[in-house]
C-alpha cells in the first residue's frame, strides 16, 4: 500500500487552504487546486500496516478502502481509485470537503508520526473523476414496481435514495425546504461546500431515476403540508431521514428578545440569500459592524465565525464551556480513538487574520443576557467553570455584544412527522430504531441518520443511509 518506505521518506503535507486575506473577500470554497505529484507522494506514505485501522470501527464509518486507493493514486491510476472510492461512499465530494476525517485519527502511522492525508486524497479522486467525465448517471437495469418515500434530503436521505434506486425501486425524496440537500445545502456554508457541488450530485440522481419534491412538509400544518398517513398509504415503505434539527437553546435570563439567534437560522438565511441574490435581497441576519459572540464550538460554531467575518463584524468572540484541549493526546485518549486535541479550523485562522487572536474563550458559561430598559441587547454576563462545570467564584464578567449566535448542538428530530404515525421515540427523543435493522415501531417505516442516532457526522449519515436502504430492500423482497 503506497511506497514500502514512503512513510519514512516523506513528511505529511496537507493541501493548503486559500490565504485568509483572499478567501474572506468571497464565499467561494476555501480549498486550493489539487497537485497530482504532491498527492502521489502523500499516498506513498500509506503503510503496509497489516490491519488498516483507518477503515475500522474507529476510523471511516463507511469503511472506505483507503489503503487501496492510496496505492492507486501513488501509481497514478486515478480512474481505478475512483471506482474503489465509489464502492463504499456515494458522495466522496461531500466527505472529502466537510468530514473531520476520523480515518486520519485512526491511521496506524499516527501512532508516532503525522497521519496520511487521507481526506485530501479522497477529495482529489472525486474531483478528478468529475473533471474527466468519469462520473456518469447509472440508471438501474430494471424496476421492481415497489415505491419508497424518503423524507429528508440530507446525506442520509440522499444515500438511502441512491441505494434504493440502484436496487430498482421507485424512490421519491421529499424536502420541506426550497432546495434539495438538507444539511449539505443550508447547514454547511459555501466556503466549505459550494452548492453547485451538491446540485451536481442531485442532478446525477435525477438522471438515474430518483424523483425529488421540494417545499413538501411531511406531517406539517402549513400550506406545503402533506399528511404523514397519506404519504405512508401511497408507498410500500417510508424512510425517515429528517435529521436532528431541534437545536439546544440557552434559557438564561434575558433570552427573550431580538438579536439572539440559533446558529442554523443564521447560516440557513445567509446561504439562501446568497444563492437567491448574492446577499442583495437583505433577507439574512447581518453581522456587519456588530460585536458578535458565538456560544458553542464545533463545526457549526466555526461556520458562524467564518460567516460573521465575511459580513464584516466589528469584533468576534467564541465561548466554549469545555477547557482548552491539550496540544497532544492525553493519557486517557490513546490511538486509535479520535484525538481530542487543540485544533485551529478555517474560521479560527480567519479570525486571527482579522483581529490578531484566536476568538475562542474556554471554560466559559453564560449567566445572563443583558438588555437595556427597551429590550435592546447589550451583551452577556458569564462565569468561568471548572472541570466539573461548576462556577468559579469571583469570575463574573460582562461581554459586549450586538449579535449572539447559539451553536450548542441539537436535541433530536422535530417529531411532527412521526407523531401521526405513533412511532416510538428513544430516551433521547430520537426515532427508536435499531442500527442495521432501522425499522421503527411501525414495520413499514424506517429511520436513519441523525433523526435515529442523534447529531453526528455527514459520513455517519451516509453510512446509515446505505444500510437503511439495504434493510428496506430486504423488507420489500421478503
Tell me whether domains 6-131 and 249-408 share a fold: no
Work out the end-to-end distance of the chain between its first and last CA atoms, rounded to an integer number of angstroms: 41
Q: Identify which of 285, 296, 207, 200 has the alpha carbon closest to the alpha carbon of residue 248.
A: 296
Distance CA 219, CA 11 (A): 53
pLDDT of the residue at 48: 86
Which 3-state string (H, E, C) describes 266-335?
A: HHHHHHHHHHHHCCCCCCCCCCCCCEEEEECCHHHHHHHHHHHHHHCCCEEEEEECCCCCCCCCCCCCCC
- Homologous superfamily (CATH) of 147-245+411-477 is FAD/NAD(P)-binding domain (3.50.50.60)
- Homologous superfamily (CATH) of 6-131 is Alpha-helical ferredoxin (1.10.1060.10)
- Assign 143 a pLDDT band (cuts: 50, 70, 90): very high
Distance CA 222, CA 239 (A): 22
The residues pairing with 400 across neighbouring beta strands, listed in sequence order, are 379
Q: Identify which of 441, 436, 470 has the alpha carbon closest to the alpha carbon of residue 453.
A: 436
Cell of 476: 420489500
Taking residue 84's Cβ as centre, other Cβ atoms within 10 Å add up to 20
Cell of 326: 491539550
- Strand pairing report for 364-371 and 377-384: antiparallel
pLDDT of the residue at 50: 87
Contact 194, 395 (CB under 8 A): no
Distance CA 283, CA 273 (A): 6
Share of the chain above pLDDT 90, in %: 97
For the chain, give the number of residues: 478
Report yes or no on whether pTM surpasses 0.75. yes
pLDDT in tens, 96-132: 999 999 999 999 999 999 999 999 999 999 999 999 9
Residue 223 has pLDDT above 80, yes or no: yes
pLDDT of the residue at 1: 67
pLDDT in tens, 25-74: 999 999 999 999 999 999 999 998 989 999 998 999 999 999 999 999 99
CATH number of 249-408: 3.50.50.60
Distance CA 227, CA 282 (A): 33
Share of the chain above pLDDT 70, in %: 100
DSSP state of 248: P
Residue 2 has pLDDT above 80, yes or no: no
Sign of the alpha-carbon dihedral angle for 94, 99, 101, 102 = negative
Distance CA 20, CA 355 (A): 12
Contact 47, 74 (CB under 8 A): no
Written as one string, the DSSP assignment of 326-366 is PSS--TTS-TTS--------HHHHHHHHHHSS--EEESEEE
Distance CA 365, CA 322 (A): 9
pLDDT of the residue at 219: 96
Residue 345 has pLDDT above 70, yes or no: yes
- What phi, psi does 217 have (nearest 5°)? -95, 95
Q: Identify which of 378, 369, 195, 216 has the alpha carbon closest to the alpha carbon of residue 278.
A: 195
Give me the half-sphere count of Cα atoms (radius 13 Å) on the Cβ side of residue 13: 12
pLDDT in tens, 145-188: 999 999 999 999 999 999 999 999 999 999 999 999 999 999 99
- Assign 478 a pLDDT band (cuts: 50, 70, 90): confident
Residue 19 has pLDDT above 70, yes or no: yes
Which residues have C-beta within 8 Å of that of residue 215, sequence separation ≥ 6?
175, 176, 177, 178, 224
Contact 440, 233 (CB under 8 A): no
pLDDT in tens, 354-412: 999 999 999 999 999 999 999 999 999 999 999 999 999 999 999 999 999 999 999 99
pLDDT in tens, 268-326: 999 999 999 999 999 999 999 999 999 998 999 999 999 999 999 999 999 999 999 99
Domain extents in the chain? 6-131, 147-245+411-477, 249-408
* Radius of gyration of the chain from its Cα atoms, rounded to whole angstroms: 23
- Assign 447 a pLDDT band (cuts: 50, 70, 90): very high
pLDDT in tens, 408-430: 999 999 989 999 999 999 999 99
Amino acid at each position: 500500500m503506497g511506497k514500502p518506505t514512503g512513510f519514512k521518506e516523506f513528511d505529511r503535507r496537507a493541501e493548503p487552504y486559500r490565504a485568509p486575506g483572499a478567501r474572506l473577500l468571497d464565499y467561494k470554497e476555501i480549498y486550493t487546486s489539487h497537485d497530482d505529484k504532491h498527492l502521489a507522494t502523500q499516498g506513498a506514505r500509506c503503510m503496509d500496516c497489516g490491519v488498516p485501522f483507518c477503515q475500522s470501527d474507529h476510523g471511516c464509518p463507511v469503511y472506505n478502502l483507503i489503503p487501496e486507493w492510496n496505492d492507486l493514486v501513488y501509481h497514478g491510476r486515478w480512474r481505478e481509485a475512483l471506482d474503489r472510492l465509489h464502492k463504499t461512499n456515494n458522495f466522496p465530494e461531500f466527505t472529502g470537503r466537510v468530514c473531520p476525517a476520523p480515518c486520519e485519527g485512526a491511521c496506524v502511522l499516527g501512532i508516532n508520526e503525522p497521519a496520511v492525508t487521507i481526506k485530501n486524497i479522497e477529495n482529489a479522486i472525486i474531483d478528478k473523476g468529475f473533471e474527466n467525465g468519469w462520473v456518469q448517471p447509472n440508471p438501474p437495469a430494471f424496476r421492481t414496481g415497489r415505491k419508497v418515500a424518503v423524507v429528508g434530503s440530507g446525506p442520509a436521505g440522499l444515500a438511502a435514495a441512491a441505494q434504493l434506486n440502484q436496487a430498482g425501486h421507485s424512490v421519491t425524496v421529499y424536502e420541506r425546504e426550497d432546495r434539495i440537500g438538507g444539511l449539505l445545502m443550508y447547514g454547511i456554508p459555501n466556503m466549505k461546500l459550494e452548492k453547485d457541488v451538491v446540485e451536481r450530485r442531485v442532478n446525477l440522481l435525477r438522471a438515474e431515476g430518483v424523483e425529488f419534491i421540494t417545499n413538501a412538509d411531511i406531517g406539517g400544518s402549513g400550506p406545503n403540508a402533506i399528511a404523514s398517513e397519506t404519504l405512508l398509504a401511497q408507498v410500500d415503505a417510508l424512510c425517515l431521514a429528517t435529521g436532528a434539527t431541534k437545536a439546544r437553546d440557552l434559557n438564561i435570563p434575558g433570552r427573550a428578545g431580538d438579536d439572539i439567534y440559533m446558529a442554523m437560522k443564521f447560516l440557513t438565511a445567509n446561504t439562501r440569500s446568497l444563492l437567491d441574490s448574492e446577499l442583495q435581497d437583505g433577507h439574512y441576519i447581518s453581522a456587519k459592524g456588530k460585536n458578535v459572540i458565538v456560544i458553542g464550538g464545533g463545526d457549526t460554531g466555526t461556520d458562524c465565525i467564518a460567516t460573521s467575518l465575511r459580513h464584516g463584524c466589528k469584533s468576534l468572540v467564541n465561548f466554549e464551556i469545555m477547557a482548552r484541549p491539550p496540544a497532544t493526546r492525553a493519557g486517557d485518549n490513546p490511538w486509535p480513538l479520535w484525538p481530542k486535541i487543540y485544533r485551529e479550523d478555517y474560521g479560527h485562522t480567519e479570525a486571527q487574520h482579522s483581529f490578531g487572536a484566536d476568538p475562542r474563550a474556554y471554560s466559559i458559561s453564560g449567566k445572563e443576557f443583558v438588555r437595556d430598559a427597551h429590550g435592546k441587547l447589550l451583551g452577556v454576563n458569564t462565569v468561568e467553570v471548572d472541570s466539573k462545570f461548576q462556577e468559579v467564584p469571583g469570575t463574573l464578567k460582562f461581554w459586549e455584544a450586538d449579535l449572539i449566535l447559539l451553536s450548542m448542538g441539537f436535541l433530536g428530530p422535530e417529531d411532527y412527522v412521526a407523531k401521526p404515525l405513533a412511532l416510538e421515540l428513544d430516551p433521547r427523543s430520537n426515532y427508536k430504531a435499531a442500527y442495521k435493522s432501522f425499522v421503527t415501531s411501525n414495520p413499514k417505516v424506517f429511520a436513519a441518520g441523525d433523526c435515529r442516532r442523534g447529531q453526528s457526522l455527514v459520513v455517519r449519515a451516509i453510512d446509515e443511509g446505505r444500510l437503511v436502504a439495504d434493510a428496506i430492500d430486504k423488507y420489500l423482497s421478503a
